[in-house]
Amino acid sequence: MHRKLRLRKRQDFNRIYRGGRSFANSQLVIYWSRKPEVEHFRMGVSVSKKLGNAVVRNRMRRILKEIVRHNKDKIVPHIDFILIARMPSVSMTSKELEKSVLHLLRKAKLIQAQPNPAAVKN
């Protein structure tokens, strides 16, 4: 994931936690807020020590970043968001986790609307 797409500073995380909106499913939580001065989206990942040791936490971080990287064209610009992993996500496959991430992004309305090919033909 490119450096410009990452959230790293504590103040950015705090701004999103305090002033952002949140959505959740049983595997993940997403906090997000608008950031008009950024031309793309930025993402942070949080994985608690409750989920496992460093190997497990880093694996979750890598998988979530890779999922977002593969779907970056679908995500709306001008937002900052944080993905937080919950316990059930540890035992999921990458494909199941990707489905869960996309579900959560759709629920938060952070996926760009794709033009309907049938409507465009007219």
pLDDT tens digit string along 21-77? 999 999 999 999 998 888 899 999 999 999 999 999 999 999 999 999 999 999 999
Q: How many CB atoms lie within 10 A of CB 25?
A: 15
What pLDDT score was predicted for residue 110?
Answer: 93
Average pLDDT over residues 80-97: 96
Do 105 and 75 meet the contact criterion of CB atoms below 8 Å apart? yes
Residue with tokens 């031309």: 39
Residues 6 or more apart whose CB falls under 8 angstroms from that of 25 comprise 100, 103, 104, 107
- Residue-level pLDDT at 39: 86
Q: What is the pLDDT of residue 29?
A: 97
